[in-house]
Amino acid sequence: MADVHTKEALELFFDIDELVEPSKNNGKDPEITLELIKKMIDWDRNNKHLTPQHFKMMFDIVNGKEKLTSENKKYCLMNFRVILKYGFKM
Cβ proximity of 30 and 66 under 8 Å:
no
In the chain, how many H helices and how many E strands?
A: 4, 0
Cβ proximity of 38 and 62 under 8 Å:
yes
Q: Mind listing the pLDDT tens digit for each residue in 21-75?
A: 544 555 688 999 999 999 999 999 999 999 999 999 999 999 999 999 999 999 9
- Identity of residue 11: E
CB within 8 Å of 60: residues ≥ 6 apart: 66
Cβ proximity of 66 and 72 under 8 Å:
yes
Tell me the domain boundaries of the chain.
30-90
Cβ proximity of 59 and 40 under 8 Å:
no
Q: Is the overall model pTM greater than 0.95, yes or no?
A: no
